[in-house]
Structure formats: C-alpha cells, structure tokens
Amino acid sequence: MDVGARIETFQLSGLLVVVTIKDVAREAGVSIGTASHALRGSPSVREETRRRVLAVAKRLRYQPSALARGLVTRRTHTVGLLISDIANPFFIRAVRAVEDVAQENGYNVILCNTDEDPTKETQYLQVLMEKRVDGIILATTAGSLQAVRDVRWRRIPLVLFDRELPGVATDTVKVDGVLGGRLATEHLLGLGHRRIAIIHGPVVRSTGAERRQGYLLALRAAGVRPDPALIREGNFKQDSGRELTRRLLDLSPRITALFCTNNLMTVGALQALGEGGVRIPSDLSLVGYDDMEWWTLTHPPLTTVGQPVYDLGREAMRLLLAQIGADGRRRPQRVVLKPELILRESCGPPGDTRAGVLRRRTGSPRRERVTP
C-alpha cells in the first residue's frame, strides 16, 4: 500500500497519520536530501524534480516539522511572552505591539498569562524552555527569581518588560514609574491639595514601588509630611481599588484628592466614589493611571498618567531580536520610556464646588498633556 492509499485508509478509520519527508522522497523517487532541498527551494535541484517533489508533498499533505527544522537551524522562530494579567487592557496593547514586530520578522508568539501568580510564572518559564523558544519577554511577578536565573543560565535570550528584577543582568524596557508618580502628585499639590491619598500596587514589584516613590518625593519636595493613613497598597486589581477607596473615604479629616496607580484600581475607585455619592472634582479630585480610551467617557473625563504602551511592547521585541541575533555577544541594555500627565476634568482645587459645576456644564472635555 502506497502512502496516499494509507492516508485515505487512516482518514476513513478516524486515525491520524504523520507524513514524513522520508515518505515524500520515496513517493517522488528521490533521496531525502534532494527532497529537503526541493522543499526549501534550493537552486541546486532541477526544476522538473522540484515540481515533482512539491506535487507529491501537496498530495500527501506533508507538513514540515518545526521541531526537526529547529534542531538543524537551532531556531524555532517562536518567542514566549509572559504577561501578568490578560484582563488588563494595558497588557493587551503591549501584546499587540510585540506580535506586530514579531510577525514582521518571521516570528510567532506564545502568550502566557500568569495572573500575578509566581507559581504559574515558574511553570510557564519551564514550559517555554522545554519548547525551545528562541527568546522570552517577561512582565515578572518578582516571585520567580530562581526560574528567571535558570533561563539566563541556559543562555536563552530574555527581556524584562514593564517591571525590573534586581540581580538579573538582562535587557530591560520599562516606563519611568517614579516620574509618573511625581507628575500626578505635583499636579494635585499645585491645585492646593494637601490631603492626597494614594492606592499603589505591591511594592515587591518595581511598578508599585516606583509610583509610590514618586508620590512621596513630590510630597516631601512640597514640604508636605507623608501620612501613612493615606498610603494604601493594592494588588493592581479592580476589587482592591474599590475596597481601599471605601476605607479612605471613612478617614477624618477627609481626603481631598486620590491618586490610583493603575487602570483597574482606578476603575474600582470610581465604583466606590459613585456608590458613596462623591462628586468629582467638587468633593474629591482624582488622578488615574494608564490612558485608556474610556477615560474620556467618564463623568467628568479623567486626568491620568499616560504610558507609551505600544512603544513599550515594540521596544521589548526589538531588544529580544537583537539578543537572538547576537548569540550572547552583547551587553544588557536598559531602556526607560517617559510617561506623561494628561489633563482632563477630574481635578480642581480643594472644595471647589463652583469649578466642578462649571466643568460638568461644558460640552467638550479639556485635554492637555504635561511632560517633564
């Protein structure tokens, strides 16, 4: 029974048959080497032979083995991308950028969601190493240091994306979180606020620690003593923003401004403020983080710290490609992008009821950009 008949028999029985290049070569009446050269379009193969091999491969539905090809070329043309929260639109934008650059350069992306869980991050890193990906882009939970070091020990190209990891010498691309925290807090201070609360992310992660640091630096530079009661640590999730905002609203004397340091916690804060009947900005000024499209649709439109997310993802993939091409002969690079403060209508002077009413009556939202 020839291969073609064997395939039809297996199809009828519902079983899977794997066609190898050896089958193609035998059916075409050529050597395995000639079949391989013909399938790769090598000029060393006569046109008539090439056409015969291609016709046989098509008839047999031959699919080249990426794994076998990778063993020869030492390249699989796949990269792993580990993000910490697939529900966060920030990471979705970054994924798009990474995939765009990867596709332009002939690479496929394996996407992994760790859900801020160090155990899942460690498991995914192990899987990607077993799959022999050509490189990894990682938004780390900061809880899988040994697994990350194992990646580096195996000399697999690695780019730390959005978050830094102390003690790991590899390429890093991030946004200046200290500057982002400063820009938001300085804006509120400039409006006259002194009771400024912050909901920041976990300080074990560089993004949480840096934005909190920027907030503290701005307060101290303005001569305002930080109040521990106004500094609350969330988990970058919506529920923590909601719960922590509720607690902050119970403080006395009351807070006059709130700074939330990521988009999902900002959504949670808006829920709590709405449930509490708090008017923005007449009762409380609010600054969020990450410039999402829907911030222009809130009432009032939200002032926020914007990050160049697409540039972040694009730069991460560019650095990874440079590592892959350098085969280890390259010093680690650290790329730091700048955030910007995007002014809309959610902030005003403390107790400025009139300003809040006037802003709510205006038709189009004010939008200004503040960069350092």
Of the listed ranges 73-77, 209-213, 366-370, the least confidently predicted one is: 366-370
The pLDDT assigned to 356 comes to: 37
- 132-146, 207-221, 334-348: least confidently modelled range: 132-146
| Res. 22: pLDDT tops 70 | yes
Choice between 185 and 330, residue whose per-residue pLDDT is larger: 185
Residue 363 has pLDDT above 60, yes or no: no
Q: What is the DSSP string of 174-214?
A: EE-HHHHHHHHHHHHHHTT---EEEEE--TTSHHHHHHHHH
The more confident residue out of 60 and 184 is 184
In this predicted structure, the answer to whether residue 1 has a pLDDT above a threshold of 70 is no
Assess whether pLDDT exceeds 90 at residue 186.
Answer: yes
Which of residues 69 and 50 earns the better pLDDT score? 50
More confident residue, 198 or 54: 198
Q: What is the pLDDT of residue 36?
A: 79
Residue 34 has pLDDT above 90, yes or no: no
Give the 3-state secondary structure of residue 279: coil
Rounded CA separation 42/295 (Å): 55
pLDDT more than 70, % of the chain = 86
Give 358 or 372, the one with higher predicted confidence: 372
Pairing of strands 158-161, 171-175: parallel
pLDDT grade, residue 367 (50/70/90)?
very low
Residue written as token pair 């990682």: 138
pLDDT score recorded for residue 136: 96
Residue 354 has pLDDT above 60, yes or no: no
Q: Cβ-count burial of 111 within 10 angstroms (0-12 exposed, 13-18 middle, 19+ buried)?
A: middle
**Segment 265-283 mean pLDDT:** 95
Return d(Cα 141, Cα 206) in angstroms, integer: 10
> At the topology level of CATH, where does 75-175+310-337 sit?
Rossmann fold (3.40.50)
- CATH fold of 3-64 reads 434 Repressor (Amino-terminal Domain) (1.10.260)
**Looking at residues 205-227, what average pLDDT do you find?**
96
The Cα 105–Cα 60 span in angstroms is 30
Instruction: Supply 111's token pair.
Output: 């996407």
**Res. 114 pLDDT band, cuts 50 70 90:** very high
pLDDT digits (tens, 9 = 90+) for 323-342: 998 876 788 999 999 999 99
Q: What is the mean pLDDT of residues 248-260?
A: 95
**Summary mean pLDDT of the chain:** 86
- Res 360 pLDDT > 60: no
Banded model confidence at residue 9, pLDDT cuts 50, 70, 90: very low
Domain range summary for the chain, segments of one domain joined by +: 3-64, 75-175+310-337, 177-307+340-370
User: How far is it, in rounded angstroms, from Cα 249 to Cα 243?
Assistant: 10
- Overall average pLDDT of the 63-84 stretch: 72
DSSP state of 289: E
SS3 percent helix, strand, coil of the chain, rounded to 5, is 45, 15, 40
CATH topology of domain 177-307+340-370: Rossmann fold (3.40.50)
Same fold, 75-175+310-337 and 177-307+340-370: yes
Of 36-40, 103-107, 181-185, where does the model show the most confidence? Answer: 181-185
Count Cβ atoms below 10 Å from residue 173 Cβ, excluding itself: 25
The half-sphere exposure of 54 on its side-chain side, counting CA atoms within 13 A, is 13
Using one digit for the tens of pLDDT, what is the confidence trace for 225-241? 999 999 999 999 999 99
Distance between CA atoms of 211 and 27, rounded to whole angstroms?
65
Q: Which of 185, 80, 188, 198 is nearest to 140 (CA)?
A: 80
The predicted pLDDT at position 368 comes to 54
Distance (Å, whole) CA 333 – CA 17: 47
- What per-residue confidence (pLDDT) applies to 68? 55
How far is CA 19 from its chain centroid? 39
Q: Which residues contact 24 (CB under 8 A, 6 or more apart)?
A: 35, 39, 53, 56, 57, 60, 62
